[in-house]
C-alpha cells in the first residue's frame, strides 16, 4: 500500500489517466442508439464500397469518416463481431416521439467499443496535450490540475462514452496547434489546425488570433511573413491530403455541406425556423468579429504574456461560438481552455462545476433508452425494464413531461456555465482594460 501511494505521489498524471480511462471504458456500453446507428450506417456504406458520400447518411467533413473507416477495417479483419445492431420491437414507439432523436435499432456493446475506443484514445492524447500546454504557462502542480480538469470533466467523458461524437478530435488538434505555435513549429501547427477545422468547424474562428500570435513572436517583417507562409502551407498541405480522396470521387461539394447547413438562413419554413437560422448566423458573425478584435488586442499587447493571452483569447472565441444554445458535444472545444484557465485562476472553477453538472443532466434526458445496448445484448438488464423506466420518465407534468423538463434544465445549466465564464472573462479583459485606460 505505501508503494502504491508513493507511486501516485510521484506520478499523479498516471493516476488521472488511469481513472479517466477506466470511467470511459465502464460507460462505453451505454449509448444513444440513434447516433451509434448513424455511425454504423456510415461504416456499412464504406464496407460495400460506396465511400463516405455514396449513399445518403454522412454529412460531415471527411476527418471523422476516415476514423470510422479505420474502425470498420478493425471490425472486419481483426474482430468477428457478427451482427452489430438489431431492431428492438419494444422500443419502436420511441421513434415517434417529437423533439428527440431516438432509434429502436440498437448497436451491440462490441460495436460501441469499436467506435468509442479511438475517441477514448483522443481524449488521452488531449489530456497529455493540455498538460504540455499548461507546463508552458504554470508550475507542475497547476499543470496536473489542468489535466485533471480537462480529462475528468463529465462533459468530455459523456460526449465520448455516451454519444460517441468526434468533437474531442477537433479539441485535441486545436490544443496541439497552440502548443506547436508556442514551439515555433509552424508548418506542423498549420497541419494540426487543418485537422481541427475539418473535424469540427469551430476552431476556424480562432485563425486571426493564431496569425496575430505568429506575428507577435516574429523578430521582423521577413520572419513574420515566413512564419505565416509556413503555417499556411502546412494548413493547405494537410487539407489537400484530407480532401484528395473526395476530390478524386467528385464529392467535394458534399464535404462542405455541414458548413452550409449551419450558416445558411432558411428562406422557407416556420417563423421559428427562420429565427433559429438567423440567430445561428448572427452568432457566427459575432464570433468572426470577436476573433478579429481579439487578434488586434493580441498583436498590440506584444510579446509580454503572449502565450497566456493566446490561450485566453482562444477561450474567449470558443465562448462566443457557444452563445447560440449549443448541443452538449459542441462545448467540448471549450473544456481544455477552461481547464487551463481554471488551473491558473480558481474563480473559473465556478463555470467548470456548473458545466460539469449541466453535462450530466443534458447528456442523459433519455437515460433509460441509453441502456438499450445493455438490455438487448446482455443479461444485465431486460428490455422490458428499460422501456418501463423510459415510460416512467415520460410522465406528464402539465403540458410537459419529466424528460422535457430534465432536458431543458440541462440545456439551461450548460448555457449558464457559458454565460458565467463569458462574463468573468469580459470583466477580466475588456472592463479592466477600459478602466486602466481611463485611469491612465
What mean pLDDT comes out for the span 89-110? 89
Q: How far apart are CA 238 and CA 135, in angstroms?
A: 28
Can you name the residues that pair with 400 across neighbouring β-strands? 397
Note the pLDDT of residue 260. 64
pLDDT in tens, 360-389: 898 888 778 889 999 999 989 999 999 999
Q: What number is the average pLDDT over the span 132-136?
A: 96
User: What pLDDT, on a 0 to 100 scale, did the predictor assign at position 435?
Assistant: 47
In this prediction the pTM is: 0.91
Contact at 8 Å (CB) between 295 and 211?
A: yes
Q: Which ranges of 136-268 does DSSP label H, i.e. alpha helix?
A: 140-151, 154-158, 167-182, 186-199, 207-217, 221-249, 252-255, 257-263
As a whole number of angstroms, the distance between CA 197 and CA 205 comes to 9
| pLDDT tens-digit readout, 85-96 | 889 999 999 989
Helices 140-151 & 12-27, crossing angle to 10 degrees? Answer: 0
Closest CA to 116 of 171, 67, 78: 67
CA-based angle 211:331:155, to the nearest 5?
135
Mean pLDDT of 315-330: 86
3-state helix vs strand vs coil in the chain, percent to 5: 75, 0, 20
DSSP element (H, E) containing 417: helix 402-426
Judged by average pLDDT, the poorest of 9-13, 31-35, 199-203, 434-438 is 434-438
In percent, the amount of the chain with pLDDT more than 90 equals 54
* 366: Cα separation from own chain's centroid: 20
Q: Which of 254-258, 355-359, 397-401 has the lowest mean pLDDT?
A: 254-258
| Cα separation, 134 vs 64, whole angstroms | 27
What is the torsional sign of CA 409, 390, 157, 68?
A: negative
Alpha-carbon distance of 440 to 429, in angstroms, equals: 16
pLDDT recorded at residue 178: 98
Around Cβ 362, how many Cβ atoms within 10 Å? Answer: 25
pLDDT for res 49: 78
What is the pLDDT confidence band of residue 193, given thresholds at 50, 70 and 90?
very high
Determine the Cα angle at 62 with ends 172 and 281, to 5°. Answer: 80
- The grid coordinates listed for 281 are 448566423
Beta bridge partners of 28: none
Angle subtended at Cα 214 by Cα 149 and Cα 138, rounded to the nearest 5 degrees: 30
User: Mind giving me the DSSP string for 138-154?
Assistant: S-HHHHHHHHHHHHS-H
Tell me how far apart the alpha carbons of residues 147 and 144 are, in angstroms, rounded to a whole number: 5
Sign of CA pseudo-dihedral 101, 104, 108, 111: negative
Kindly give, in sequence order, each residue whose CB lies less than 8 Å from that of residue 177, ignoring residues fewer than 6 positions away.
189, 192, 193, 196, 203, 210
Q: Where are the beta strands (DSSP E) in 60-142?
A: 85-87, 105-107
**Cα separation, 149 vs 167, whole angstroms:** 17
Assess contact for 90 and 372: CB atoms under 8 A: no
Strand, helix or coil at 397?
A: strand
Joined together, the cell numbers standing for residue 196 give 481541427
In the predicted structure, residue 438 carries a pLDDT above the cut 60: no
Residue with the larger pLDDT of the pair 47 and 440: 47
What pLDDT digit, counting tens, does each position of 8-63 carry? 667 799 999 999 999 999 999 999 888 888 888 888 888 877 777 776 666 778 89
Exposed/middle/buried for 49, CB within 10 Å: 0-12, 13-18, 19+?
Answer: exposed
Amino acid at each position: 500500500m505505501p508503494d502504491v501511494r508513493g507511486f501516485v505521489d510521484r506520478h499523479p498524471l498516471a493516476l488521472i489517466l488511469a481513472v479517466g480511462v477506466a470511467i470511459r471504458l465502464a460507460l462505453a456500453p451505454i449509448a444513444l442508439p440513434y447516433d451509434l446507428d448513424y455511425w454504423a450506417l456510415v461504416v456499412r456504406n464504406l464496407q460495400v464500397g460506396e465511400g463516405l458520400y455514396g449513399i445518403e447518411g454522412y454529412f460531415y467533413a471527411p476527418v471523422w469518416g476516415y476514423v470510422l473507416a479505420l474502425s470498420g477495417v478493425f471490425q472486419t479483419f481483426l474482430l468477428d463481431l457478427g451482427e452489430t445492431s438489431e431492431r428492438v420491437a419494444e422500443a419502436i414507439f420511441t421513434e415517434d416521439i417529437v423533439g428527440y432523436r431516438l432509434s429502436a435499432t440498437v448497436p451491440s456493446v462490441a460495436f460501441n467499443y469499436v467506435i468509442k475506443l479511438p475517441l477514448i484514445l483522443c481524449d488521452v492524447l488531449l489530456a497529455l496535450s493540455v498538460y504540455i500546454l499548461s507546463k508552458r504557462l504554470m508550475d507542475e502542480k497547476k499543470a496536473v490540475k489542468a489535466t485533471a480538469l480537462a480529462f475528468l470533466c463529465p462533459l468530455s467523458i459523456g460526449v465520448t462514452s455516451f454519444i460517441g461524437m468526434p468533437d474531442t478530435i477537433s479539441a485535441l488538434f486545436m490544443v496541439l496547434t497552440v502548443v506547436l505555435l508556442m514551439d515555433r513549429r509552424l508548418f506542423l501547427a498549420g497541419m494540426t489546425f487543418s485537422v481541427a477545422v475539418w473535424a469540427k468547424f469551430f476552431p476556424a474562428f480562432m485563425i486571426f488570433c493564431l496569425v496575430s500570435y505568429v506575428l507577435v513572436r516574429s523578430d521582423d517583417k521577413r520572419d513574420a511573413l515566413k512564419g505565416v507562409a509556413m503555417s499556411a502551407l502546412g494548413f493547405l498541405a494537410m487539407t489537400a491530403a484530407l480532401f484528395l480522396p473526395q476530390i478524386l470521387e467528385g464529392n467535394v461539394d458534399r464535404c462542405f455541406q455541414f458548413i452550409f447547413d449551419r450558416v445558411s438562413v432558411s428562406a422557407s419554413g416556420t417563423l421559428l425556423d427562420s429565427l433559429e437560422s438567423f440567430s445561428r448566423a448572427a452568432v457566427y458573425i459575432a464570433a468572426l468579429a470577436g476573433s478579429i478584435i481579439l487578434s488586434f488586442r493580441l498583436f498590440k499587447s506584444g510579446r509580454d504574456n503572449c502565450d497566456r493571452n493566446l490561450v485566453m483569447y482562444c477561450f474567449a472565441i470558443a465562448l462566443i461560438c457557444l452563445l447560440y444554445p449549443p448541443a452538449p458535444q459542441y462545448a467540448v472545444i471549450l473544456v481544455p481552455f477552461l481547464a487551463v484557465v481554471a488551473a491558473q485562476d480558481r474563480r473559473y472553477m465556478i463555470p467548470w462545476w456548473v458545466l460539469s453538472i449541466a453535462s450530466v443532466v443534458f447528456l442523459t434526458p433519455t437515460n433509460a433508452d441509453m441502456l438499450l445496448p445493455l438490455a438487448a445484448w446482455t443479461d444485465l438488464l431486460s428490455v422490458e425494464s428499460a422501456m418501463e423506466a423510459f415510460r416512467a420518465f415520460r410522465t406528464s407534468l402539465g403540458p410537459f413531461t419529466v424528460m422535457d423538463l430534465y432536458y431543458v434544465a440541462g440545456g439551461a445549466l450548460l448555457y449558464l456555465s457559458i454565460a458565467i465564464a463569458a462574463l468573468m472573462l469580459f470583466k477580466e479583459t475588456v472592463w479592466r482594460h477600459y478602466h486602466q485606460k481611463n485611469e491612465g
